[in-house]
């Protein structure tokens, strides 16, 4: 595994990654802000009908906190941060190929999970329902990409840049912990219409996606592939694993386990030296 694809040269004394304290502070601040915004909905001060308004606002919290941290750290000469667009990895170069590769992984893994579902006894939904869901995949993908901007600019933009000098396993584990922890405030919303088993599967899936999102982000040097993957998770994956099958059959842990194994294996492969489908990014996030 190559741990520093986005920053291939050894960090100098002026090109240091974030400390554990800084990273923990960022994660906790983003999670606390998300919980604060979601609180009126969670405690019943707002009706469930406002979920569609509150959730997109809460999704902006990783970016909002990243902007606060950027402003604070920019004042400290020892950090020598690059421009905001570089720290958030907004470059487009290499993005197109990385997006295609990322979506290819998403489709293949989702299809393999769907086959696992069939092999373990799940049944298809009505053909009309499947056809209607298929028509909606692309519009939902585009909409979910927009909603994902705040999260991805924060997690795979800011946080990935601040942990560039870390080994990939350490940075990936941090991403998994951060993304899962940040989603905890919405678990009560999930449980209002689902079971604890469903909430657990939801959190485990999130933890397994994070390393792959980070791998594609580091390999390409751009946050945009992660943005599109995020939209794809909420559209393409949902179609393969929910829309295609009859509802009310509960959580299929064979399917969930297959997903976790495949996503983690995909992340390891993308970060390996043998993977050549995405050109290795060479730009440095932090200026020397």
Residue 213's domain comprises 20-271
**79: confidence class by pLDDT, cuts 50, 70, 90:** low
| Over residues 16-28, mean pLDDT | 92
Q: Which pTM value belongs to this model?
A: 0.91
Residue 98 predicted with pLDDT over 80: yes
- Rounded-to-integer distance, Cα 17 and Cα 79, Å: 9
SS3 33: helix
Give the number of domains in the chain.
1
Residue 23 predicted with pLDDT over 60: yes
| Over residues 29-35, mean pLDDT | 97
- pLDDT value of residue 12: 31
- pLDDT value of residue 191: 75
285 part of a folded domain: no
Residue 42 predicted with pLDDT over 90: no
**287: confidence class by pLDDT, cuts 50, 70, 90:** very low
- What share of the chain in percent tops pLDDT 70? 91
255 part of a folded domain: yes
169 part of a folded domain: yes
| Over residues 226-255, mean pLDDT | 94
| Over residues 39-61, mean pLDDT | 90
282 part of a folded domain: no
- List all residues 6 or more positions away from 246 whose beta carbon is below 8 Å from its beta carbon: 122, 123, 124, 125
- pLDDT value of residue 75: 82
5 part of a folded domain: no
Average pLDDT, the chain: 89
- pLDDT value of residue 8: 37
Least confident of 41-45, 111-115, 151-155, 180-184: 41-45
Question: Is residue 148 within 8 Å of 283, Cβ to Cβ?
Answer: no
244 part of a folded domain: yes
- Rounded-to-integer distance, Cα 23 and Cα 159, Å: 7
- Distinct helix (H) and strand (E) counts, the chain: 13, 0
171 part of a folded domain: yes
- pLDDT value of residue 288: 28
Residue 195 predicted with pLDDT over 90: no
70 part of a folded domain: yes
- Rounded-to-integer distance, Cα 223 and Cα 221, Å: 7
- Rounded-to-integer distance, Cα 110 and Cα 98, Å: 18
């Amino acid at each position: 595994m190559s741990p520093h694809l986005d920053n291939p040269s050894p960090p100098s004394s002026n090109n240091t990654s974030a400390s554990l304290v800084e990273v923990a502070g960022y994660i906790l601040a983003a999670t606390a802000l998300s919980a604060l915004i979601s609180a009126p909905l969670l405690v019943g001060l707002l009706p469930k009908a406002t979920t569609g308004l509150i959730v997109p606002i809460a999704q902006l919290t990783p970016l909002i906190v990243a902007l606060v941290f950027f402003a604070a750290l920019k004042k400290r000469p020892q950090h020598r941060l690059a421009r905001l667009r570089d720290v958030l990895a907004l470059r487009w170069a290499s993005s197109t190929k990385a997006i295609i590769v990322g979506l290819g992984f998403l489709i293949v893994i989702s299809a393999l999970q769907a086959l696992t579902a069939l092999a373990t006894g799940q049944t298809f939904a009505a053909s009309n329902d499947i056809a209607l869901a298929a028509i909606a995949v692309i519009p939902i993908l585009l909409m979910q990409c927009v909603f994902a901007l705040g999260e991805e600019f924060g997690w795979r933009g800011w946080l990935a840049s601040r942990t560039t000098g870390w080994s990939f396993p350490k940075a990936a584990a941090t991403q998994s912990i951060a993304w899962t922890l940040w989603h905890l405030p919405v678990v009560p919303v999930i449980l209002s219409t689902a079971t604890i088993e469903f909430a657990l599967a939801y959190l485990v899936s999130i933890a397994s996606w994070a390393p792959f999102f980070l791998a594609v982000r580091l390999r390409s040097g751009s946050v945009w592939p992660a943005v599109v993957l995020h939209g794809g998770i909420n559209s393409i994956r949902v179609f393969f694993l929910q829309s295609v099958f009859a509802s009310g059959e509960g959580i299929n842990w064979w399917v969930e386990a297959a997903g976790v194994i495949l996503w983690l294996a995909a992340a390891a492969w993308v970060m390996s030296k043998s993977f050549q489908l995405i050109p290795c990014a060479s730009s440095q996030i932090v200026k020397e």
